[in-house]
Chain A
Amino acid sequence: MDSNTLLLILGSILFVVICALVYFIYSVATKEDSLKALTEENKKIVRSFNDLDEQARLIVRTDLELTKAREEMDKRLNSLNALQRTSRQISQALSEAEIFQRLSTGLFEDLGFSRVLIVTRAEDHQLKIRLNLSYKQQRLDILLKDIDLDDLIKSQTHFYSSNNTPTKIREKIIQLFEAEYYVLAPVLTQNGSLGFVFVGNRYNASMVTQGDEELISILAGQIGQSIENARLFERVFRSSQELELKVSERTKQLAAALEQVNQISKKKSEFISAVSHELRTPLTSIKGYAAILIAGKIGELPVAVKERLAKINTHSDNLVGLINNLLDIARIESGRQEMKFGLYKVKTVVENVADLLTPQVTAKGVKLQINLPENIDEVYIDMSQAERVFINLLSNATKFTPAQGTITIAAAPILENGFITFSVADTGIGIPEDDLKKLFSEFFRVDNEINQNVKGTGLGLVLAKNITQAHHGKMWVESKVGVGTTFFFTLPVSAEAFGSTTIEKINAS
């Protein structure tokens, strides 16, 4: 191999090496660019991931806040619904037992509490379990005998919750109630704490929130208020029952007394009736003999004797009148007076009486007026007896009305019960108020100048009232001294009206 060939070979090798070197340098330079690009891309991806993570963090925190708000809102909503429902129910309860019957454990379960205990002090000061969820009798026995709990109830004025209780009390509550998460609220009344409402959970299955604390406190207050109301109602109810019992007993006593009085009254009437009959027979003889003597049938008598005999006759007449009145009263009171009821024209009845008494009234210089409404037609009465009422009242009015005075017979429109109210009014001297109460008592006569001069028995008004009552009507009087007196009495317009009303009813009214 010559040197030229060798040089050519070496030159070729050198060329190849240089080319390879150039290619190597080129390719290294190109890869470095790709690597740089890849590194940049990688950085971008990492940055994106980190951004994604930051966004996720934001999402989680927002989600947490929303979840907390929703949980609290859910709980508050539940609580408010439950509180409203429960408050409405217990506020309508009329007894303590009913309050707690209406309180259901479901309310507290809805709020997420698995342990519930409501204890209140009864009126006998004993602690009573009112509502219990999850506590066994053994635990309740321990609870109720615990002195610390008793002290706690007496002194508690605000709620304790697992969020705010001082450590010592908290430990005691956890030990007693076996619940780490709780609200213990006093049942407060005006007289202090009456018991407690306890709700809780052994574990933090449902955390106690501010809403729970508020709700249980409000509910405990509501229970206290309802207990006070129920106790007040019970006391009022008991008093009312006692009063009713007393009234009932007293009514029985009065009825018995009334029966006794009626019996006595009947015996008295019977006695008066018997005595009157016995008196009337000899009195008739006395009058007869006096009349014979006055007439001179057994010889002329001296004037002085005649005068005496005339007085005997007059007094005998008065006595007969008195006995007749007594007999009438006795008959009516004992129900032995036979009444002959019928329908009579009001106008006729009143005018008959007026005609009878007009001479006396006119003679005294008194004016007699009659005011009867147009629509009044008939009354259902015993004509002769009813006339006696009118006559009695008109006679009295005439007696006590001075000259130039007026006597008015009037009638008011028919009442709903089918009775007409008649009135006999005068412009006489009037009756003092104290005497008005005694006016219808037997033998009572108002102490005035006229009565002192005019004889009377004090039986006329009693008889008039008895006759009115025998018509199932009533009689009363209004008077003013120096102005005048008005007597009122009612009479039935029909047999139906008479039949639908009894004497007892009228008296009661």
Chain B
Amino acid sequence: MDSAPLLQLNGITKRHGADAALAGVSLAVPAGTLLALVGPSGSGKTTLLKTINRLVEPDEGSVVLAGEDVRAIPAASLRRRIGYVFQGIGLFPHLDVAENIAIVPRLTGAGAAERRARALELLDLVALPRDFASRYPAALSGGQAQRVGVARALAAEPSLMLMDEPFGALDPVTRDELGRAYRALHERLGLTTIMVTHDMAEALLLADRIVVLIDGRIRADGPPASLLRGDGDAGVRALIEVPRRQAERLAALERGG
């Protein structure tokens, strides 16, 4: 790699009592990557993601973003520079869609007109009609709400996006549609994205690079194709087996039908 990575994790360790949730995780993420962080429940992937925007402080190790140790940046201003999307979405129920989307510009003191314009622009970007601007979150479907969640995360023009099971609560059709739409946005805006998912199929289809985390350690790290070829240990292969077998059975069904 000729240039320094946008994000670098160095020996991140986090303990919960005697158990290590993360045991010395190191990772370098070049700009422009869509990296999927995959692992079974309790593998530490959400904890690892949250150390990046300091929602979790590691016991050991450091996070370096664009050459700067994140501990040197006040937590609030660090988080405004990083987009954050999570399964719970967490739209503010007392604010309308436009106000939700433009919350970060509001925190940094942008004027009302500027915020409004930014909100409309972002609605276009996530392919929601502009008249959604004045709706309240309670009036949105799950997929629409998460599009607003993505728009909110993008409002401050971050270079890094953190996504924690972003489409986990959606029905399969919406989930697939939103996943592909996000991948397109990622390309178009030149983002760097770390996406936590427990769904290996989603990871294989969307990501440039897959990092498998089991028991707080990296067990595999590579592009989807190399994982499909069978790189990695037995635990990793077991994770890969599931979507592969599903795909084979679907193909067989198609041939048979």
Q: Do A and B come from one complex?
A: no
